[in-house]
Chain A
Amino acid sequence: MTAQDTTPALRARAMASLHRAQAPHQSGAPAGKPVRRLPVQKDWPIWALVAAQIGILLGALSLWEIGARTGWIDAFFWSQPSAIAETMTVFFTTGDAWTDISFTFRSTIIGFLIGTTAGSLLGLSFWWSRNYAAVVQPYVICLESIPKLALAPLIILVFGIGLVSKVAVATALTLVVSTLTAYAGVKALDPDGEKLFYSLGASRLQVFRKLVVPFCLPWIISVLRVNIGLALTGAIVGEFIASQHGLGRAILYAGQTYDIALVWVAVLVLSTLAIVMYAAVSWVESMLRKGVRQ
């Protein structure tokens, strides 16, 4: 830019050429840069989004049904929506639906609670002694790297085919995650924070209760949602291996007897259970977060 550029006449010319460039059919400014505008996306109203989602679902289901009836899809392997709906009614009216749901639900929740609590306490306990932490840490890391699901057959052997063994698998999956996360919180603690407490004459227990625990709570809370998913996985795998009840067993049994519609029903129910538990834990998490203010 030279000083001349700023004379009014030149500026007016520059403006004019700018305007010309903006006109759609005008390419009269070959030397100028192409004029671009910020791309704007218009948001659809919420009802339109929901309508689109439902539309896709209904479309897919109809295609599936039509495909199965015309023989284009093999209904023996894939079943079909109408058969699934029928089986669903049977499952809930005359079948074991509620026994199975409650069995899977209980083993998941109990495993989740035990694993999360015990893991968090174990992780926090590492604050008490650096030596103890140094000794135990390699074991925790080993435990983490073992695929816990591979141990599931052993766990079932030890704890039997009842609820306890499913709880044990769910616990094994959640425990290590919670331990490592709580320990990460402990390691992130500012040593100066401890100094402050000790300068006020605090005891170890006071530092633990008033500093370490509240400081690590956000860490502990942050794994709740991950853990509920892991606990459910553990419970289902436990049921796959040996069980008399549960949605996992229902899926396995239906598959073995080629009752594909029942497989779909059990999977649907299981997904619903998973979503409900996930939503509940998310809600608990947000409540806790408000409670601990971080």
Chain B
Amino acid sequence: MSSSAPKLCVADVSMTFKTPTGAFHALAPVTLSIPQGRFVSLIGPSGCGKSTIFNIIAGLLEPTGGRVLIDGIDATGTIGRVGYMLQKDLLLLWRTVLDNVILGMEIQHVPLRAARERALPLLHRYGLAGFEYLYPNALSGGMRQRAALLRTLLFDTDVILLDEPFGALDAQTKLKMQEWLMQLWSDFSKTVLFVTHDVEESIYLSDEVHVMGTRPGRIIATIPIPLARPRVRGSVLSGEFLAIKERCLELLHLDTTASQAVNEAA
């Protein structure tokens, strides 16, 4: 393992689901290489296989072909290697926020008291002070996402996968959560793979955006985002930002028209 090996490498991963109506080719070979500490987004229309890629990286789904490498070591089909925040917050309703957040540590057999002691300061620092001993039902959507994200972070893996974490939030809360996530990312220096279908969100947050297409799911373009950090809200209106956004939208649009053409030809 050389020090220049990417933190996370998805090598020629493909996926075909067996369905009652026959084989469904969900992912064409997809290759991703993500260096340590990067924030990388995947965008694409719904159904293009974003969650499938995440399930494969997290070891929850055995790919039909290809491998997943973490630090250059084969991690295909092994669980517990990356922090994975699924599309839903999946907070356990019978546990307090504090006890939800330490779930990962608890499963890794960290003694409860030590786990709570580690989690408490983080809850205070990252906007959940006063909510530690409440149950998830008492929380707003934004607060629930915060708890779910802290749970993922506290699992303490270098790589974290976030599947549309802000997809269900209102616009205002979403902006706040983006700032909050940026703060966390710079504090924890994790390697983040982020799924969204909000183009602006992906550009604003990422170092690199992969645009995906459907039928089968594949990466149609990789767009580096050279905007300086720390980023400010205003940069969303800069010419550079808008140019990138236009490019992404165009790619997404091209893909939809292309797949329509394929469908009509078939």
Contact = CB atoms under 8 A, between A and B. Distances in A.
A214 B103 CA distance: 14
Contact of B107 (A202, A292, A294): A202
A65 B180 CA distance: 79
Chain A's interface size range is 20 to 34
B79 A294 contact: no
Contacts of B81: 201
Residue from the set B82, B84, B92, B135 with the largest chain A CB neighbour count within 10 Å: B92
Given A195-B86, A214-B92, A293-B93, A200 B104 contact: yes
Nearest to B82: A199
A197 interface: yes
A43 interface: no
A201 B92 contact: no
Given A206-B107, A293-B135, A199 B90 contact: no
B79 A214 contact: no
A63 interface: no
B88 A200 contact: no
A199 B94 contact: no
Q: Describe A's contact surface by its main secondary structure.
A: helix
A214 B94 contact: yes
Contact of B90 (A192, A210, A217, A292): A192
B80 A201 contact: yes
Given A292-B94, A293-B135, A197 B107 contact: yes
B60 A192 contact: no
Contacts of A195: 55, 60, 86
B39 interface: no
A198 B79 CA distance: 6
Given A214-B92, A214-B94, A293-B135, A200 B86 contact: no
A186 to B, nearest CB: 16
Given A214-B92, A294-B94, A201 B107 contact: yes
Interface residues of B, number: 24
A157 interface: no
Given A192-B86, A293-B93, A198 B60 contact: yes
A200 to B, nearest CB: 5
A190 interface: yes
A199 B135 contact: no
Contacts of B92: 193, 210-211, 214
Contacts, number: 57
Interface in B52-91: 55, 58-60, 79-84, 86-88, 90
A195 B94 CA distance: 18
B19 interface: no
Contacts of A193: 90, 92
Nearest to B104: A200
B108 interface: yes
B155 interface: yes
Contacts of A190: 88, 90
Interface string B85-124: 0111010111000000001101110000000000000000
Contacts of A214: 92, 94
B53 to A, nearest CB: 14
A145 B90 CA distance: 37
Contacts of A293: 93-94, 135
Given A195-B60, A293-B135, A200 B103 contact: yes
Interface in A178-209: 190, 192-193, 195-202, 206
Nearest to B155: A200
Contacts of B90: 190, 192-193, 196
Interface of A: 190, 192-193, 195-202, 206, 210-211, 214-215, 217, 292-294
Interface of B: 55, 58-60, 79-84, 86-88, 90, 92-94, 103-104, 106-108, 135, 155
Given A198-B59, A199-B82, 10 more contacts: A196-B86, A199-B60, A199-B84, A199-B86, A200-B80, A201-B79, A206-B107, A210-B107, A214-B94, A294-B94
Q: Which 10 interchain pairs have the tightest Cβ spacing?
A: A201-B80, A199-B84, A200-B104, A199-B58, A293-B94, A202-B107, A196-B90, A200-B107, A214-B94, A198-B79
26 contacts: A192-B88, A193-B92, A195-B55, A195-B86, A196-B84, A196-B86, A199-B59, A199-B80, A199-B82, A199-B83, A199-B84, A200-B79, A200-B108, A201-B79, A201-B80, A201-B107, A210-B103, A210-B107, A214-B92, A214-B94, A217-B94, A293-B93, A293-B94, A293-B135, A294-B93, A294-B94
